[in-house]
Amino acid sequence: MQQVPTSTRRVGMAVVGLGGAVATTAVAGLELLRLGAVGAEGLPLADVEVAGLVPYEGLLVGGWDLDDSDLAKAASVHGVLDHRQIEVAGPGLSQVRPWPAAGDEEFCRNVVGGNTVVAQGRRAQTEVIRADLRRFRETEALDGCVVVNLASTERWPDLTAPALQTPEAFEAGLDADDPAISPGMLYAYAAVMEDCGYANFTPSLAADAPALVTLAEQRGVPVAGKDGKTGQTMMKTVLAPAFRSRALRVEGWYSTNILGNRDGLALDDPASLASKIGTKGSVLDSILGYPVEDHVVRIDYYRPRGDQKEAWDAIDLVGFLGQRMQVKVDFQCRDSILAAPLALELARLLDLAQQRGDGGVQEHLGWFFKAPMTRDGASPEHALHRQEQALLTWLAGAALAEPGPAVPSADEAAPQTRA
Amino acid sequence: MQQVPTSTRRVGMAVVGLGGAVATTAVAGLELLRLGAVGAEGLPLADVEVAGLVPYEGLLVGGWDLDDSDLAKAASVHGVLDHRQIEVAGPGLSQVRPWPAAGDEEFCRNVVGGNTVVAQGRRAQTEVIRADLRRFRETEALDGCVVVNLASTERWPDLTAPALQTPEAFEAGLDADDPAISPGMLYAYAAVMEDCGYANFTPSLAADAPALVTLAEQRGVPVAGKDGKTGQTMMKTVLAPAFRSRALRVEGWYSTNILGNRDGLALDDPASLASKIGTKGSVLDSILGYPVEDHVVRIDYYRPRGDQKEAWDAIDLVGFLGQRMQVKVDFQCRDSILAAPLALELARLLDLAQQRGDGGVQEHLGWFFKAPMTRDGASPEHALHRQEQALLTWLAGAALAEPGPAVPSADEAAPQTRA
Amino acid sequence: MQQVPTSTRRVGMAVVGLGGAVATTAVAGLELLRLGAVGAEGLPLADVEVAGLVPYEGLLVGGWDLDDSDLAKAASVHGVLDHRQIEVAGPGLSQVRPWPAAGDEEFCRNVVGGNTVVAQGRRAQTEVIRADLRRFRETEALDGCVVVNLASTERWPDLTAPALQTPEAFEAGLDADDPAISPGMLYAYAAVMEDCGYANFTPSLAADAPALVTLAEQRGVPVAGKDGKTGQTMMKTVLAPAFRSRALRVEGWYSTNILGNRDGLALDDPASLASKIGTKGSVLDSILGYPVEDHVVRIDYYRPRGDQKEAWDAIDLVGFLGQRMQVKVDFQCRDSILAAPLALELARLLDLAQQRGDGGVQEHLGWFFKAPMTRDGASPEHALHRQEQALLTWLAGAALAEPGPAVPSADEAAPQTRA
Amino acid sequence: MQQVPTSTRRVGMAVVGLGGAVATTAVAGLELLRLGAVGAEGLPLADVEVAGLVPYEGLLVGGWDLDDSDLAKAASVHGVLDHRQIEVAGPGLSQVRPWPAAGDEEFCRNVVGGNTVVAQGRRAQTEVIRADLRRFRETEALDGCVVVNLASTERWPDLTAPALQTPEAFEAGLDADDPAISPGMLYAYAAVMEDCGYANFTPSLAADAPALVTLAEQRGVPVAGKDGKTGQTMMKTVLAPAFRSRALRVEGWYSTNILGNRDGLALDDPASLASKIGTKGSVLDSILGYPVEDHVVRIDYYRPRGDQKEAWDAIDLVGFLGQRMQVKVDFQCRDSILAAPLALELARLLDLAQQRGDGGVQEHLGWFFKAPMTRDGASPEHALHRQEQALLTWLAGAALAEPGPAVPSADEAAPQTRA
């Protein structure tokens, strides 16, 4: 792969679901950063200096969406930006319009739109997606290109279907328009075939298909996922290690989420909801080392909250002498505000991995995900602080590959916000 | 130091404030463990197997208190144990009666009692305390002995007083009955002189006096402190690193505590309260790396809560694009239930350090404290997960000193609760 | 009806679901009151003195349950009483053993037990129930007798079924064993036929059937219901009137309940849950005077909570200038502790109504219920303070019927707790 | 008093503390209502139609402040209005500039400003204030005029001072520049002397002085106060009656408030804080009928909250069988958004009382206040729903005085928001 000075590197970030709240917020954030209108809050790697890590101003965002509205219009619908930010970022956002997407109502019932690929059948659709990526790379004279899936939750496909087991079977499945192949997999396949790193920020199963993991390994393309860890689950992976550290037994953990954005609406489809809750469930037992039988997770669509997701946890602990204690956590967060900067950091890190030649599953990116992909069926690490350590260690190692201006030490405390 | 098989080792734990809720709960817990009436919940090192680490059944507890009631009576006052536990542990608890204590109303106004040392003056009082320790060691045929301060909060002395600067000045101060020397320091001094490891679980300044730190180093006696990290501050040192990890800027953190036990009453003395809040304050800035100007900490005495301390935190975060989020945490905990097992683990670890010959300040015990003592003026580590790692690393190292049945790896996740 | 001095009046309270947590707690409470072991907390009418109102010590409780365990055993399962209370009340509770019940798994799937009536068919079952009531009345030499339904939630029957429209159709339906007649209706019918006042504290539809309402009116028997208003809904009917008073528009109200007792288990049957949520839903719109579109109510079975139900509400308000505010309420209550004293008061008030000759639907008892029955299809009053006023007015009127020692004024503030 | 048709009536509302957040919000609200830019949310009497009740568009606001900034500037500092509302209301707000105020740093230490009356001594200051009112009335051709005190909290004066006992002593005190007379009293006196109704929305003692109460009665001028009941105390007077209704004994009630606006800063002066907490304290005991010994109220200045006051309550209840329950309420409210519409309604009601000739203390306005003034030392009613009833009854009575288009019945449920 061609090497250019980090400071002038141009990396394309092709987003599946570009018109959604997360993607729109990410694009607006890049614009506001470029204009000096916002600080680095929320960007965990803002102060990390590693050779090859493309700066935020080197990211160019494009992508697909079922809705062809330009992002200025999308931003005004999502209600994430404040009045002033819309004014400032508006002109830049209005220049960005999603490419037609490969939607399929079978997989995502509550979200529809007219901006769809005209090609019939899965093979033809992948051809369109691949052509989009090649055009993006050439038109923008990109030094690197990654694909990030920020679409709404799909229904969970059956990963044991024959078409998903090997690259060869997958190719045959595309030709036969095999329904076992989901829309998300089309994008993951296209990314890998075009040598674009791929990250799945949604709970949908996509690059998890054995066929695609093998293909990514064969082609040396980095893949990572799945399901961005932003709100309640992030907190869970912070608190649970502490309870274990203090030997406070978790007798039960009741979690409810209320949110009112498009993601919430998609989750009103029970099949999509099951997919979402599936990725949230196993986190706790894995960290604690024992099963929490009374672990309940609810997600409810509640419009007054809009994009301002609220998560309430009621945690029951048993301490010394078997006596009980309770913790209640009410996290009044903002879904897209938490997710968008993580999506940007993922794009930068995938591009860095591509430069290093690190292909296949990126285990050190587990810090970003509710259900981290692992190699060879290993159990993922879920504790946030150990995931952070793994990421810092990889970053330090990456830096060793070439002489650079700054090398973060794995001993360093944490990715930092600016002073 | 004499080596005996770990399994038959007998270690004395002399407690300052034996009649208090924490100490009473610790003694009751040992009794209930011995009788098989409770499990290992809340005991972080229950599953850690390191050669030399005395088992819980090897701990013998004695100590001083201004109130000479036996511990069965104390337990019924504190209301920590449930009805059945009092029945089961009662006979054992009624055998334990505090030794007369060196109280001084100047230092602790709201807690009084008649069970005081008759000796006049500081020097004479230390002689009594030292005699208590020697008698304890001989009567019980102890293999090791440690002192743990679980008394109520004292007013904060002036650590720059001349008498507190060197061992020699301290000795002279004892002879001159210098008021700069607080009751807590008398116990710390006596412990060090009798080669008993010393841990300060209270917010009072005691072993922190430069004279006593130097003395402990000279004599090779381990000392650790101060202020057990159990409830709200423990949670703070779990959440703050996560906010930093995700680059969420903490704009403000409002913390209020309500509690109704004897500690709460002691804190109704504003000077004692200032001492307590002092140890809570700096934690946040240290972890985050920037000053949180709106960090407010309140402690209020509120009787209906009894020993069931409640901590409410309102946290204001600033994320991507400068947008705000909030976290509310309501921790309905039990002060003594959280503190008592930590006091027991501290005693075991001090005894292990004594066996290893690790004298002076025990930095790897920072995991236990709100305001960890450090060597040579270094800033303490406050993040719970990094404190845990330091403790595990030390434990693994300790195990290397002699061949033993089990060596925990520093890579291991966490001290574990039993399956 | 025979008049005896109030102080020596004996009233039978026949409970459907006698072995449940609410009924067991009520019986234990009567026993503990009799022994002077508890005060009058939680008994709203403890200080109300009205001629004819039977004192608590005049209540004798019997009843049916699918489980034939005596109430001492039931109490130890429910875990509502504390250790000491079980010791004190145990001998009395062990004397009470439920009569065989008319259960039907078709209507209540998750709760089963072997203590069922052997009679086949609905008509035969009503004969057994009526015989139980006659035997109760005679054996205990009762001056009055009422039936209170405290059973678990049944599935909601179709109230438009022909058999439920008139007394005649109902009689025919009994003979034909018409499945439209639910078990709960059998008890309501039997109560009315035996001149026993009937109150439905469950969300099931029973006395609501038009046939039974008419029958009660014809026979002059008081009936009331339904669904005891104890926790979250009670709070809702307190807060909503205040929001209306201050013109704060309720944009949304998210309510979740977690509970772990037998009622919670019954609600794991979706059909029973629908019945329960149905009675909770309309309260809000009725009080506010406009529809709250985002009113979400969840009930989840969560075992760690046991009988200690927890209700969390997130309320979104719009105030002056359209600006938004939020209220969060976390009610950590105890289901049976709130419900049991209300059941006792209901029994006393039904008996009083019987003495006064007030038959049919008792609208002034709406204060007790989530879904108050009304006469002639009128909309019920839901605001707690106006329901209280209606009850006090009726009590004052009742007192006028005969000269008595104390007459509460309708102007008086509230039913009082003892000083 | 001159009668004009209600629809064309012009009433002056002279505000003490015009530049504060509450007053600025009230003025902005009138402007936005006039422009049709906001609805009637938060205005409790928006749908009440009583003859003589001046419509919102008939209110003209002027007043005094230590800061002479125009209200557009004040609004941008307070941060209550959103971006769009400032744009829309800005031109109108910039026309309003406070008159010089009679400030005194002795009474209000943390709030200072240069816009003060040059007159020396209390008598001279009252002359300036009275002249302001006369000028206001004449310049604007007002049909009525009222004074509403919305200033920051003053220190609490000694109401037993001789100068405050009778009108004559007060007049002499003014001449002697008696320091017992506070700035707030100067405004109250001036209002009464100019026949302007006076309402005290602050916790300061002003019209409460016996001399001023007598003077108001003699002159037939309506006075009301004190301390607007908006947030936590409002909720307390809603919940406490419900707990009493259900006989749930309140064992303790812990209340903390955090706020970051100018009022919060003023409360950083301990003497002002004591005054504020004083008016909050007695509410609970009065409603419950017994003393709650563990009633703790905290107010803390916490800047991140700005005008968005947050109140957290931890309530401990004792129910049936002496068993305990807890309620936690987190009210994330907006101080000025709650207070401003109440101030406007007060002005309208004082003007109505003046038209009716109802002078002296207005007991029926207790609904607005934390510490309602009463006649002849009577204990005030605190329960919100009974206060509402008293107000509705008075309104219905007022309507009887003259034939009008609409007469609200005292039986009507509540002041209503618009459909």
| CB atoms D239 and C238 under 8 Å | yes
Does residue D405 lie within any of the structural domains?
no
- Model confidence at D407, pLDDT cuts 50, 70, 90, reads very low
pLDDT at C417: 34
pLDDT tens across A23-77, in order? 999 999 999 999 999 999 999 999 998 989 999 999 999 999 988 899 999 999 8
Closest CA to C65 of C127, C135, C112, C119: C112
Q: Is A41 in contact with A94 (CB distance < 8 Å)?
A: no
- Strand partners for D332: C326, D310
Half-sphere exposure of C200 (CA within 13 A, CB side): 32
| CB atoms A338 and B321 under 8 Å | no
Cα angle D57-D59-D60, degrees, rounded to a multiple of 5? 115
Residue D252 pLDDT more than 50?
A: yes
pLDDT at C402: 45
Count structural domains, chain D.
2
Instruction: Take residue A22 and report the two structure tokens written for it.
Output: 């997360």
Task: Give the residue with greater pLDDT, B151 vs D326.
Answer: D326
**Do A193 and A294 fall into the same domain?**
no
Write the secondary structure of A15-49 as one string of H (helix), E (strand) and C (coil). EECCCCHHHHHHHHHHHHHHCCCCCCCCCCCCCCC
- Strand partners for C13: C61, C146
Residue B268 near chain D (CB below 8 Å) = no
pLDDT tens across C232-289, in order? 999 999 999 999 999 999 999 999 999 887 666 655 555 556 555 655 668 899 999 9
The whole-angstrom separation of Cα A73 and Cα A75 is 5
**Do B272 and B375 fall into the same domain?**
no
Which positions in chain B touch A382 (Cβ < 8 Å)? none
Question: C52-79: b or e for each residue (b if 16 or more CB lie within 10 Å)?
Answer: bbbebebbbbbbbbbbbbebbbbbeebe
Does residue A320 lie within any of the structural domains?
yes
Does residue B11 lie within any of the structural domains?
yes
Among the candidates D304, D332, D360, a domain finishes at D332
Q: What is the DSSP string of B106-154?
A: TT-SS---S-B----SHHHHHHHHHHHHHHHHHHTT-SEEEEEE-PPPP
Averaged pLDDT of chain D? 87
| Distance in Å, alpha carbon of B411 to nearest chain A alpha carbon | 10
**Residue whose token pair is 């019932």:** A109
Q: Is B392 in contact with B412 (CB distance < 8 Å)?
A: yes
Q: Mean pLDDT, to the nearest integer, of D314-336? A: 96
**Do D162 and D179 fall into the same domain?**
yes
| Distance in Å, alpha carbon of C335 to nearest chain D alpha carbon | 10
Contacts of C362 (CB under 8 A, 6+ apart): C222, C223, C224, C349, C350, C353, C373
N- to C-terminal Cα separation, chain B = 35
pLDDT tens across C103-151, in order? 554 544 445 567 776 677 899 999 999 999 999 999 999 999 999 999 8
Sort strands B249-259 and B310-318 into parallel, antiparallel or unpaired. antiparallel
pLDDT at C109: 42
- Strand partners for D311: D257, D331
- Model confidence at A159, pLDDT cuts 50, 70, 90, reads confident
Task: Give the residue with greater pLDDT, C401 vs B99.
Answer: B99
Residue B405 pLDDT more than 70?
A: no
pLDDT at A120: 78
In chain D, DSSP finds a helix count (H) and a strand count (E) of: 13, 11
Which positions in chain A touch B248 (Cβ < 8 Å)? 41-42
What domain range is D105 assigned to?
A: 6-228+337-400
The whole-angstrom separation of Cα B245 and Cα A414 is 6
Q: What are phi and psi of B273, to 5 degrees?
A: -60, -45
Q: What is the widest separation between alpha-carbon atoms in chain D?
A: 68
**Do D85 and D175 fall into the same domain?**
yes
Q: Is A33 in contact with A56 (CB distance < 8 Å)?
A: yes
Q: Is B17 in contact with B23 (CB distance < 8 Å)?
A: yes
Half-sphere exposure of A48 (CA within 13 A, CB side): 31
Q: Is A42 in contact with B251 (CB distance < 8 Å)?
A: no
- Model confidence at D307, pLDDT cuts 50, 70, 90, reads confident
**Do D164 and D21 fall into the same domain?**
yes
Residue D185 pLDDT more than 60?
A: yes
Question: D262-273: b or e for each residue (b if 16 or more CB lie within 10 Å)?
Answer: bbbbbbebeebb
pLDDT tens across C346-361, in order? 999 999 999 999 999 9
Mean pLDDT lowest among A276-285, A385-394, B213-222, D219-228: A276-285
pLDDT at D293: 87
N residues, chain D: 419
Does residue D132 lie within any of the structural domains?
yes
pLDDT tens across A314-368, in order? 999 999 999 999 999 999 999 899 999 999 999 999 999 999 999 999 999 999 9
pLDDT at C119: 73
This complex has an ipTM of 0.91
In chain C, DSSP finds a helix count (H) and a strand count (E) of: 13, 11
Residue A414 pLDDT more than 70?
A: no
| CB atoms A296 and C330 under 8 Å | no
Helices C384-400 & C335-356, crossing angle to 10 degrees? 30
The whole-angstrom separation of Cα A389 and Cα A410 is 7
Which of helix, strand or coil describes residue C122? helix
**Do B135 and B274 fall into the same domain?**
no
pLDDT at A273: 60
| D83 → chain A, closest CA residue | A83
For residue C226, is the peptide bond before it cis, meaning its omega torsion is within 30 degrees of 0?
yes
Closest CA to A47 of A415, A404, A392: A415
**Residue whose token pair is 């406490």:** D240
Contacts of D36 (CB under 8 A, 6+ apart): none
Q: What is the DSSP string of B194-213?
A: TT-EEEE-SSS-STTSHHHH
**Do C179 and C243 fall into the same domain?**
no
Query: pTM of the entire structure?
Result: 0.91
DSSP assigned state of D56: G
pLDDT tens across B68-101, in order? 899 999 999 888 998 889 999 999 999 999 998 8
- Model confidence at B282, pLDDT cuts 50, 70, 90, reads confident
Q: Is A242 in contact with A282 (CB distance < 8 Å)?
A: no
Sort strands D324-332 and C99-100 into parallel, antiparallel or unpaired. unpaired
The type of residue at B198 is Y
- Model confidence at B207, pLDDT cuts 50, 70, 90, reads confident
Does residue C300 lie within any of the structural domains?
yes
pLDDT tens across A212-248, in order? 999 999 999 999 989 999 989 999 999 999 999 999 9
Does residue B411 lie within any of the structural domains?
no
pLDDT tens across C191-239, in order? 999 999 999 999 888 888 999 999 999 999 999 989 999 989 999 999 9
pLDDT at B26: 97
Domain CATH number, residue D328: 3.30.360.10
**Do D318 and D189 fall into the same domain?**
no
pLDDT tens across C20-74, in order? 999 999 999 999 999 999 999 999 999 998 989 999 999 999 999 988 899 999 9
Q: Mean pLDDT, to the nearest integer, of A4-29? A: 92
Does residue A406 lie within any of the structural domains?
no
Which positions in chain B touch D294 (Cβ < 8 Å)? 302-304
pLDDT at C274: 59
Which positions in chain D touch A82 (Cβ < 8 Å)? 83
Please name the residue ranges forming H helices in D268-367.
270-281, 283-288, 335-356
DSSP assigned state of B224: E
**Do A175 and A196 fall into the same domain?**
yes
Q: Mean pLDDT, to the nearest integer, of B107-113? A: 48
pLDDT at D263: 63
pLDDT tens across D130-146, in order? 999 999 999 999 999 99
Among the candidates D332, D354, D373, a domain finishes at D332
Mean pLDDT lowest among A118-122, C377-381, D291-295: A118-122
Instruction: Take residue C299 and report the two structure tokens written for it.
Output: 């009930």
| Distance in Å, alpha carbon of A290 to nearest chain B alpha carbon | 7
- Model confidence at A3, pLDDT cuts 50, 70, 90, reads low
Q: Is D222 in contact with D142 (CB distance < 8 Å)?
A: no
**Residue whose token pair is 């109140």:** D311
pLDDT at C277: 62
Q: What is the widest separation between alpha-carbon atoms in chain B?
A: 68
Residue D304 near chain A (CB below 8 Å) = no
Does residue D416 lie within any of the structural domains?
no
Instruction: Give whole-number Cα distances, A370 to A123, A149, A280, in Å.
Output: 31, 15, 6
Helices D232-245 & C384-400, crossing angle to 10 degrees? 40
pLDDT at C142: 97
**Do D212 and D144 fall into the same domain?**
yes
Contacts of B380 (CB under 8 A, 6+ apart): B286, B363, B366, B371, B372, B373, B374
**Do C216 and C237 fall into the same domain?**
no
Contacts 24+ apart (CB under 8 A), A377-381: A379/A286, A380/A286
**Do D193 and D255 fall into the same domain?**
no
Averaged pLDDT of chain B? 87
| CB atoms A314 and C310 under 8 Å | yes
| CB atoms C252 and A304 under 8 Å | yes
Residue B413 pLDDT more than 50?
A: no
Q: What are phi and psi of C103, to 5 degrees?
A: -90, 160
| CB atoms D312 and B310 under 8 Å | no
Q: Is D407 in contact with D400 (CB distance < 8 Å)?
A: yes
pLDDT at B265: 63
Domain CATH number, residue C109: 3.40.50.720
Which positions in chain D touch B328 (Cβ < 8 Å)? 330
Query: Which of A251, A296, A303 comes nearest C252 by C-beta?
Result: A303
Residue C83 near chain B (CB below 8 Å) = yes
pLDDT at A276: 58
pLDDT at A397: 83
pLDDT at B288: 95
| CB atoms B84 and C84 under 8 Å | no
Among the candidates D317, D332, D347, a domain finishes at D332
pLDDT tens across A258-312, in order? 988 766 665 555 555 655 565 566 889 999 999 998 999 888 889 888 888 999 9
pLDDT tens across D19-59, in order? 999 999 999 999 999 999 999 999 999 999 898 999 999 99
Q: Is D343 in contact with D230 (CB distance < 8 Å)?
A: no
The whole-angstrom separation of Cα C312 and Cα A298 is 13
Sort strands C324-332 and D324-332 into parallel, antiparallel or unpaired. antiparallel
Closest CA to D52 of D355, D374, D359: D355
CB count in 10 Å sphere of residue C9: 21
pLDDT at B398: 59
Q: What are phi and psi of C179, to 5 degrees?
A: -65, -10
